[in-house]
Amino acid sequence: METHDSGLHGNEGDTADTDDTADTGTNNTRAASAHSTIDFTDLTAALRGRFVTERSIVSLYETDSSRAVFSGEALGVVLATSAEDVASALGWAHARNIPVSVRGAGTGLVGGATAYDGGLIVSLERMNRIVEIAPQDRLATVQPGVITADLDAAAHEHGLFFPPDPASVHTCTVGGNIATNAGGLRCVAHGVTSDWVAALTVVLADGRVLRTGARTRKNVVGYDLTRLFVGSEGTLGVIVEAVVRLESLPEGDPVTFWADFDGLAAAGSAVTDIVASPSRPEVLELLDAFTVRAIEEVFPSGMRIPAGALLVGQTVGPHAAAHAEAILTLCEANGATESAIAADDSLVEARRKSNPALSARGLKIACDVGVPVSRLAEMFAGVAEISEQHGIEVASVAHAGDGNLHCKVAAPDTPSGIAAADALIDDITRLALSLDGTITGEHGIGQVKQHELPWQLDEVAIDVQRAIKDALDPRGILTPGRGI
């Protein structure tokens, strides 16, 4: 996944919790000028220095990494350090019908974490503590702002690892992964984030605290509320703690392999055969030539620029080398021009830099559609046709092993240029749906994809989801107008 923080994120992993007299709170009694009539006395008293209204600070939390445009001024930002802080903030906002955005790292690509004019921002960046790792139960308890890579590193000390592995693993958070049900590079072998969440602590819109799930492997008590909140993009509640499952580290070192193809369609056919084979990889990523070239220009790593597409993957375990060789044989049978075992895992690390590299090249209009792996070759062929029809070049990167395709389009910073790119992305999305796919694999809906929602969900599905939203957030203060 490129980024996975729509609606719920933490920030830098080395941001330490601060005390109640933090410098950022010295202006808490001064409301933003545009909203000076609102009384913050109760909120200020409850948060004791963790509610900030100073514009120079608040403005840092008003946008995310998406192209969603924010205008206006938020009332202030709650720099939460505990579930109690979040409960106080939501209870205050609920009583006053004030919209709330939930934000931390702000790396989301669909506008799920941008602020509201006259709204309250709840930041989870300081809630970045690994509460416990329980090796015997293969569980970890974490706050939402924990950086995903930091949790993985901590698990490694116990011979374990955290399987969800977004491309932005060094900056995205566990809370963000849960809010968007992120997949990532290891999804082909280990599934998505929801497969690894055992229990949650959630603050509801009115400030009540809900605990879901259990630490046991089996649990069928009541409705599965844990999965209800996974992927909810901050619209049903704010996740303040999670119990996540860990897995044992595989034996030996991973084996990285690569294969060049003259075209994306041929690479897609190879992926279909690989996923259907007994030699299932841990990672299977596909990059078109445009993307590889962009990575090399922005983050030079010695990556080979293919004629059409580069397939990069990894196998793990005691038979990793044999599985990698078997996969390369399948690549060659599907027309790979060259293929080999790599000396190290630098190709996988270079793949993680594709999104910032493409963004640096001005490719900022994006989608993250998904299709069944068996339709991947058709999807790539269709994207090429759509690109040619529109006369606009498309960069494609895919978590190929699970059929999640990330397309980015360059757009002049003009209304007509952005509209043209949006039209192309819409056509790619409709193509994915025609191939039994989905409008989003992991980024979420946010506000950028709101217009696409009826393309996939019928009226009954939308009505049911809105009924759930109304039941849990009757005043509609939590991330309103986004997600469903």
- Among left, alpha and beta (phi > 0; psi -120 to 50; other), residue 235 is alpha
Sign of CA dihedral 180, 224, 152, 209: positive
The first and second tokens of residue 483, run together, are: 């997600």
Each residue's pLDDT, cut to its tens digit, for the chain (484 residues) gives 333 333 333 333 333 333 333 333 333 333 344 455 888 999 999 999 999 999 999 999 998 877 777 888 999 999 999 999 999 999 999 999 999 999 878 777 787 889 899 999 999 999 999 999 999 999 999 999 999 999 999 999 999 999 999 888 999 999 999 999 998 899 999 999 999 999 999 999 999 999 999 999 999 999 999 999 999 999 999 999 999 999 999 999 999 999 999 998 899 999 999 999 999 899 999 999 999 999 999 998 878 899 999 999 999 999 999 999 999 999 999 999 999 999 888 999 899 999 889 888 877 788 999 999 999 989 999 999 999 999 998 999 999 999 999 999 988 888 898 899 999 999 999 999 999 999 998 888 988 888 999 999 999 999 999 999 999 999 999 999 998 8
Q: What is the pLDDT of residue 213?
A: 97
Contact 43, 158 (CB under 8 A): no
Instruction: Output the pTM of the full model.
Output: 0.88
Torsion of CA 205, 210, 212, 215, to 10 degrees: 140
**Enclosing H/E stretch for 465:** helix 459-472
**Residue the block writes with tokens 């070192």:** 253
**What class, spelled out in words, does domain 23-123 have in CATH?**
alpha beta
Residues 6+ apart with CB under 8 A from 57: 24, 77
Domain boundaries, the chain: 23-123, 130-248, 255-434
Torsion of CA 246, 250, 256, 257, to 10 degrees: -100
The first and second tokens of residue 431, run together, are: 């193509």
| Cα 413 to Cα 401: distance, rounded to the nearest angstrom | 34
Instruction: Outline where DSSP puts E strands in 295-438.
Output: 309-315, 338-341, 363-367, 394-399, 404-410
CA-to-CA dists, residue 212 to 197, 224, 228, 229, 420, angstroms = 10, 8, 10, 9, 44
| Cα 478 to Cα 462: distance, rounded to the nearest angstrom | 18
| Cα 279 to Cα 117: distance, rounded to the nearest angstrom | 52
List residues bridging with 32 in a β-sheet: none
Q: Strand order of the sheet with strand 338-341?
A: 338-341, 255-261, 309-315, 283-288, 394-399, 404-410, 363-367
468 CB neighbour count, 10 Å cutoff: 14
- 130-248 classified as CATH 3.30.590.10: no
Give 255-434's CATH code, choosing from 3.10.400.10, 3.30.565.10, 3.40.462.40, 1.10.3720.10: 3.40.462.40
Angle between helices 264-276 and 320-333 (to 10 degrees): 140
Q: What is the pLDDT of residue 35?
A: 58
CA contacts within 13 A on the Cβ side of 309:
29
List residues bridging with 200 in a β-sheet: 212, 242
